[in-house]
Amino acid sequence: MQELSQELPQLKYFVTLSPVPGFAQWLAEQQQEAQWPDSIREALDALATPNWQQDKAREERLKTAIRPLAAHYLVDQKNRHGLPLNPVARFHLGNGAELHRINWLGDVSAKGMKQAAGLMVNYLYVLDDIERNHENYTAKATVACSSEVRDLARRARKLAKGETTK
């Protein structure tokens, strides 16, 4: 970013398109253990169907279920050190990024589907926010995230409690 900023001083924002390795494994584990509503469990069962993303109705049900769960995974789920479970999230958040967007079917390659149910994530680096985000992450393990991601994580927490969401 420093090199790009020197070459192109008008740039103030930098965004990655990053994988979410480990999400599909976490999701499979949670499907066995979590107390999610039947509608979520039924939607997630479709992940076992080959080429599920080609069936528009099935794909929409999964999108509705998985995006909030991905936000919950990235924002709320921590390792034994109190940091995000996801190694890519730890890297970017530790460098002062914000978890900006969860991209549905951002990687439909075999590897992307196997690792992350096709998800990819944008991490946003805002030059004026990097130091603050880094300090909050280092001191309090705070995950800086956009309001969209925060809303998705909140929806997942409600689902986990059996509450309906809009």
Residues recognised as catalytic = 18, 92
Average pLDDT over residues 8-22: 93
CATH superfamily of 2-160: Malonyl-CoA decarboxylase, catalytic domain (3.40.630.150)
Cβ-based neighbour number of residue 23 at 10 Å: 25
Classified as helix, coil or strand, 77 is: coil
pLDDT digits (tens, 9 = 90+) for 19-68: 999 999 999 998 887 778 888 888 899 999 999 999 999 999 999 999 99
Cβ-based neighbour number of residue 96 at 10 Å: 22
Domain ranges in the chain are: 2-160
Average pLDDT over residues 85-108: 98
Q: Which amino acid is at 158?
A: K
pTM of the model: 0.92
Contact 106, 119 (CB under 8 A): yes
Q: What band does 12 get if pLDDT is binned at 50, 70 and 90? A: confident
Reported as type and span, the H/E element at residue 86 is none
pLDDT digits (tens, 9 = 90+) for 121-146: 999 999 999 999 999 999 999 999 99
